[in-house]
Structure 1
Amino acid sequence: MCVRYDGVEVEEAYCDALTRPEPAYELCTGRDCQPRWETNRWSECSRTCGEGHQARTVRCWRMLAPGFDSSVYDELCVAAGLARPVEKKACRNKACGPQWELSEWSECSARCGGQGTMRREVRCSVGLSPCNEAMKPASEKECLGPPCDRQWTASDWGPCSGACGEGRMSRIISCRNLEGKVISGSQCDPTTKPLAVYPCGGWNCPAHWVEQGWEQCNASCGRGVKVRRVLCAGLENGVYREYPEGHCDISQKPEVQAPCFKRPCSIWFTTAWSQCSKTCGVGLRLREVKCYQGEELGQGCDPTSKPEAKQTCQIQPCPTELPDEDCEDKATANCALVLKVKLCTHWYYRKACCGACRSKAP
């Protein structure tokens, strides 16, 4: 300030502007300010019906200097004996009505290059009223078979197991793609599959029944049927030869099919996805995942094939700044000092001193 010889403040014009000192702030150190927990707003309920959850961010903050707040390690708030606010709480909307529950799609029924069908089971969850048939999801859809780049490959023959009539030598037949990776045998043409078992044990071996290995059970769970090829075959001058079935004793022909049973049928079912938990930015959407064994809830489903029950979602990016009508500098923030030391680039001070920072924006 400009003062007269007797100490009275007068107009600045009476003082020499060239000798005016620069205005300055001097920070002094007092006792450390106590930390505090701060929370943001609760998210929307993760489910639009029934019981869901809401989440919020909890951070430990402390004033490091007058007007300068910053987030610090949570351990500081814990050491100060401050109870951490909850970050998650249950929320409940109106009760969910009956919902359609869906199993995973089956493999495409088509052979390579052809049209086929994929199927899934659609069932209504247990409720007091039936599901809306008009909203029932499709249980079948068309699909295209795998590319025709699959082919059968065979290993070398193993040793002969015995004399003519009983002796067998076998090899492993696999279905592979162009990269040489073993894939499901259903993706190769069954009509071109090489034989895995040959007769052996003599240079000339008369016709007799030669059974191939059992194919996989035709049911992925529960009871099914497995089949195998049984050929009337022998050796002529050491060369394999097939004969009409009349050359072998029909009464001695081995079975070509047999019942099979895999683990009890337990299938994963899912409901539709919930709405995103946030209207902007990254949120979560959820769905129910249940294991059914027949009509009852069970525990026998394969945990490695369990469908996801939650996934991230983003409807639109959140605005980086508050709307103009909501912009108001915090009374506790020393916005003049924030401008002086150029802290408007920090997200907290840009929000706390939104008016002051915008007034200085280029």
Structure 2
Amino acid sequence: MSASHTELDTDPQLEMRLDVLTVAETHSVAHTDTQTGTHTAILVQLQEVSAVQAANTESNDFDVGLDPDISLADMYRWKVSAYAPCSSTCTTGITASYALCVRYDGTEVDDSYCDSLTRPEPTHEFCTGKECPPRWETSGWSECSRTCGEGVQYRTVRCWKMLSPGLDSSVYDSLCLSHDLHKPANRKICLGQSCGPQWEVSQWSECSARCGSRGVRSREVRCSMEMRLCNMSSQPIESQECEGPPCDRRWTASDWGPCSGVCGEGRMVRAVMCRSSSGIVMSEEQCDQSLRPLAIYPCGDRDCAPHWVEQEWQQCNATCGRGVRQRQVVCAGLDTGVFKEFPDSSCDQTNKPEISSSCFKRPCSKWFTTSWSQCSKTCGSGIQVREVKCYQGEELVTRGHSCDSTLKPEARQSCQIQSCPTEAPAAAPAASLAVDDSCQDKPTANCALVLKVKLCSHWYYRKACCQS
């Protein structure tokens, strides 16, 4: 027993291990009898202490009890972990990998344990977030449609959606509506100062001239109040000279339709229209009525005795109120299957159909307009507005459909006084080049990465990362 104590006393390294052993497992040493047995028990217990230490602490103070195949250089290493969250919450963004310092058994430890010179560079990849939801975007309100009294203001309301980074596009309104997004109003009432009297004019009538000549067109001019209250010096003109239509109008006819019955009752019909030389359908008044082809022929038998054949009614000669319409009635028949027109005396005069009848158009209501307002912008594309009113005689019609809605004049139109300057302004002093205080980087834009991969030339990132 004394020999064992003498060997232990002469081994300083073993004394340190005995101190540790005394704390952890002292009862195991007390029962050893031989020098060899004592030494073996101590080594076993040291290995057990080391194993306990490895499981319950991150300390690397113990260098015994480890796998002899693991070197100090392999104790800690860099491990490339998963990618960081996508930089964009919707559409395509950028994600970056990152490295963690781990111990040989896979436990994550502080980065200071690993060699910073061997740390892997982060890699960047494109990533796809969830689909961006649509949204409503509105323009600014236009000028009031009236410079006085009650008017209307308009604005553009469109559905937009971010399709990809930097690609924000207008889409169909149904996409926003399908997401239960309430569409903002595109018009509202505006009130100005009390209106004074102003001139109102109707639309110009058609030119009275036939093709190749000059004629006159007219319109009605009225005062919104009593006539004496309007400024007579600024009264709009009521008539002016005009050019007649070009002499390129001609009648065109379609193919004949099928016969509808026997001789005396059967009819074949075709469409007859007045067209311009470019094929545009014109009003029948612009073609020579004396040259109008027949639109209805008799049919039925190869030989058919003369009888009255009525043509289609022409348009009413009144654009509103009561008027008269005309039609052509011919005495005609068939001779060996060929159409033949006979003198009126060859047909029964007692049952000749009417060639004219009364007609009634909608009440004589007319659209009246005021003059155009000033352009809403001093440069670039702007908007002009005016009042459009419906009058039936002297009465202003505010409800119903007295006036023809298809003929309603435009209440707004685009305007451009001059083009806006396109050149960049002169260079500002250095003091004024500081970043605007209101400019803030968007948190979702990952501006540090944008700068690194040189995306600042793109307008979207230039705006999203304006501070950077």
Alignment of 1:234-313 (within 5 A): 234-279=333-378, 282-298=381-397, 299-300=400-401, 301-313=403-415
For 1:141, the equivalent position in structure 2 comes to: 240
Inter-partner Cα distance in structure 1 for 2:422 and 2:393? 51
Question: CA 1:328 to 1:315, structure 2 compared with 1: closer, same or farther past 3 Å?
Answer: farther
Whether the 8 Å contact between 1:44 and 1:278 is mirrored in structure 2 is no
Residues 90 and 320 of structure 1, relative CA distance in 2, 3 Å threshold: farther
Per-residue deviation, 1:217: 1.8
Q: Distance in 2 between matches of 1:240 and 1:132?
A: 65
Shift of residue 115, structure 1, vs aligned partner: 2.2
Equivalent residues in 2 for 1:3-18, closer than 5 Å:
none
Q: Secondary structure of 2:358's partner?
A: strand
- The CA distance in 2 between the partners of 1:89 and 1:319, in whole Å, is 33
Q: Secondary structure at the match of 1:201?
A: coil
Deviation at 1:163, TM superposition (A): 2.7
Note the C-alpha offset of 1:273.
1.5
Among candidates 410, 417, 421, match of residue 315 of structure 1: 417
Moved more, 147-156 or 174-183: 174-183
Q: Secondary structure at the match of 1:137?
A: coil
TM-score w.r.t. length of structure 2: 0.47
Aligned partner of 2:252 in structure 1 is 153
For residue 290 of structure 2, give the secondary structure of its aligned residue in structure 1.
Answer: helix
Which residue of 198, 214, 218 maps to 1:115? 214
| CA offsets 1:234-278 (integer angstroms, 9 cap, x no match) | 233333232332332322211111112233333221011123345
CA distance in 1, matches of 2:142, 2:279: 49
Residues in 2 aligned to 1:245 and 1:269: alpha-carbon distance in whole angstroms:
48
User: 2: distance between equivalents of 1:290 and 1:245?
Assistant: 51
SS in structure 2 of the partner of residue 97 of structure 1: coil
State the one-letter code of the partner of 2:248.
Answer: D
Task: Return the letter of the residue paired with 2:287.
Answer: C
Contact 2:319–2:361 at 8 Å: present in 1 too? yes
Question: Gaps (5+ residues) in structure 2?
Answer: 1-140, 155-187, 437-468
Give yes or no for contact 2:208–2:215 (8 Å, CA) kept in 1: yes
Contact kept? 2:207, 2:217, Cα under 8 Å = yes
1:228 aligned onto 2:334: no
Q: CA separation in 2, counterparts of 1:111 and 1:182?
A: 17
Structure 2 CA distance for partners of 1:277 and 1:50, relative to 1, 3 Å: farther
Query: Contact conserved, 1:215 with 1:226, CA < 8 A, in 2?
Result: yes
Compute the displacement of 1:134 (Å).
Answer: 3.8
Report the residue type matching 1:224 in the other structure: G
Instruction: Report the CA distance shift for 1:317/1:89 in structure 2 as closer, same or farther (over 3 A).
Output: farther
TM-score of the pair, normalised by structure 1: 0.60
Is residue 181 from structure 1 mapped to residue 283 from structure 2 by the alignment? no
Distance 2:259 2:309 in 1: 14
The 8 Å contact of residues 145 and 387 in structure 2, kept in 1 or not, is answered as: no
- Following the alignment from structure 1 to structure 2, what is the Cα–Cα distance between the partners of residues 293 and 203? 55
Secondary structure at the counterpart of residue 203 of structure 1: coil
- Aligned partners of 1:267 and 1:293 also within 8 Å: yes
For 1:47 and 1:165, locate their aligned partners in 2 and report how far apart those are by CA, in whole Å.
63
Contact map agreement 1:47 1:277 (CA 8 A) in 2: no
State the 1:212 CA deviation.
Answer: 0.6
Alignment of 1:338-349 (within 5 A): none
**Structure 1's 275 and 236: CA in aligned 2 closer, same or farther, altered over 3 A?**
same
Q: Whole-Å Cα distance in 2 between the matches of residues 295 and 124 of structure 1?
A: 11
Q: What per-residue deviation string (whole Å, max 9, x for no partner) do you get for residues 73-112 of structure 1?
A: xxxxxxxxxxxxxxx995745x433222111122223333
Tell me if the contact between 1:283 and 1:313 (Cα under 8 Å) persists in the aligned partners: yes
Q: Give SS of 2:262's match.
A: coil
Change in Cα spacing, 1:233 to 1:332, as seen in structure 2 (3 Å) is closer
C-alpha spacing 1:203/1:92, structure 2 compared with 1 (3 Å): closer
Instruction: Please report the RMSD computed on the Cα atoms of aligned residues, expressed in angstroms.
Output: 4.2
Cα deviation digits, residues 181-201 of structure 1 (max 9, x gap)? 333322222111110111223
Structure with the higher helix share, 1 or 2: 2
The answer as to 2:315 corresponding to 1:213 is no
Larger Rg: 2
The CA distance in 2 between the partners of 1:334 and 1:219, in whole Å, is 70
**Aligned AA (1:313):** C
After TM superposition, the structure 1 = structure 2 runs for residues 19-34 of structure 1, keeping only pairs within 5 Å, are: none
**In structure 1, how many angstroms separate the alpha carbons of the residues matched to 2:253 and 2:351?**
29
How many residue pairs get matched?
266
5 Å-filtered alignment, 1:75-94, equals: 92-93=192-193
Q: 1:89 to 1:167 in 2, by over 3 A?
A: closer
Residues 146 and 387, structure 2, Cα contact 8 Å, conserved in 1? no
1:60 maps to none
Distance 1:46 1:214 in 2: 43
Take 1:320 and 1:329, find their aligned partners in 2: how far apart are those partners? 23
2: distance between equivalents of 1:304 and 1:331? 56
Q: Structure 1 residues 185, 277: closer, same or farther in 2, change over 3 A?
A: same
| 1:200 counterpart letter in structure 2 | C
